[in-house]
Structure 1
């Protein structure tokens, strides 16, 4: 059995103000396909201003959406080759 090493680079970028954080996530697959998603977080006005927490929440939401889009893409490719409908397992 031959083993192959493949790497994916995922980029996360954040935009913030005092109340909101927006995360943009992008992965470029080896075939050149790019999958892009966004995540958002809002700070309640009574919470302490902790930008890192907003980044963690918005980033996690963007990465979760990225995972779901990748699953959808993979199952579409399985269905196309197999001629049947595959059933994704929830993440």
Structure 2
């Protein structure tokens, strides 16, 4: 069965006095997951807002990815294809990680 889905991610960034906060919201159409990230500039460093944006956004996406992986492992366990607490493993039984 072939299927096509579109999941949307909205990224909000707020900069204030050398710090940046990011919020990434994944909307699957059925649920929403929110990731958070932040970055703070060392007062001795040059003010380059793009760097704070990139760091905070990447940390929010990383948080989002961890939550999504946790949810996938939970769903795998509930489907009987492995145990729900297998997030410590690289690839739970029945599902393999892509070749690197």
Query: TM-score range with shorter-chain normalisation?
Result: 0.7 to 0.9
| TM-score, normalised by the number of residues in structure 1 | 0.88
**Count of residues in correspondence between the two structures:** 88
User: What corresponds to 1:17 in structure 2?
Assistant: 16
| TM-score, normalised by the number of residues in structure 2 | 0.80
**1:6 and 2:18 aligned:** no
2:33 alignment partner, one of 7, 32, 35: 35
Distance 1:38 1:67 in 2: 11
Distance 1:57 1:84 in 2: 34
Unaligned runs of 5+ in 1: none
User: What corresponds to 2:67 in structure 1?
Assistant: 69
